[in-house]
Amino acid sequence: MSRRFCLLHSLGQCRRPCVIGSFECALQPRAGHSVLTVKRTRQLVPAAILFAFLMFTGCRPKYTPAASISDGAIVLLKSGSTNAAFVVTRQSMSPEVVDYTWFLRSDGKSTFDVWDPACSHGAVSNATGVAFGPFNIQWSTAGTAGGYVYYPSPYRWIRMPWGKYWAIKTFGGPSMAVTTERNLAKVDAEDPRWKFHR
């Protein structure tokens, strides 16, 4: 009679030949095989969930929402107990660069007094973006209308070995608010008028 081997034979888990039309071998695996299969399945489940999560978060977008700003605009940044602000002092279309002054404090206070030792500050010229402390804000020119600053992304980007980017949504992280004030002494990061977004 013709014989064939079941899947258990290919795995080396079965000692009895399978007769065509009979599933006796497959239904009576060696002792311990079912336990091993369950353990292997449980080990693969977390990896499968992570893979599916990455697949459904999608590819890296080319930009995040932007806010229009003019020279002299005060922008607030927040991340945990760290509060920061920057003032755009000059925006150039050609070359596409921006000058700004920044203020940073990590003591939980929300005003920016340059005479307060807890408030660090500095000035940057001819930059292609706004970066200081833990913050890195993208900027681009809007021609004669000023420029744009881009809200921090709520996703963390992971570059895959094949070059694509996958996004993992993060909780917390930096957020940004564009104010209508031109006088930093009047700005308080806790003022409910300023709506932080990311």
pLDDT at 144: 82
List residues bridging with 131 in a β-sheet: 136
pLDDT tier at 112, thresholds 50, 70, 90: very high
Q: pLDDT of 138-173, one tens digit each?
A: 999 998 888 999 998 766 666 777 777 666 666 667
Q: What is the mean pLDDT of residues 19-39?
A: 47
Q: What is the mean pLDDT of residues 17-41?
A: 48
Q: Which residues in 21-173 belong to E strands, given as ranges?
A: 66-69, 74-79, 82-92, 97-105, 120-127, 129-132, 135-141, 147-150, 155-159, 165-169
Asked if residue 189 has pLDDT above 90, the reply is: yes
Q: What is the mean pLDDT of residues 7-14?
A: 48
Q: pLDDT of 83-101, one tens digit each?
A: 999 999 999 999 999 999 9
Pick the closest to residue 66 from 144, 148, 186 (CA basis): 148
Element (H, E) at 49: helix 33-57
List the structure tokens of 25. Answer: 């071998």
Q: What is the mean pLDDT of residues 110-125?
A: 95
Q: What is the mean pLDDT of residues 2-25?
A: 47
Taking 3-state DSSP, the helix, strand and coil percentages for the chain, each rounded to the nearest 5, stand at 20, 35, 45
Q: Please give the model's pTM, rounded to 2 decimal places.
A: 0.62
pLDDT top residue among 174 and 31? 174
pLDDT at 68: 92
Q: Is the alpha carbon torsion for 184, 185, 186, 188 positive or negative?
A: positive
What are the sequence ranges of the domains in the chain? Answer: 3-57, 66-186
pLDDT top residue among 125 and 65? 125
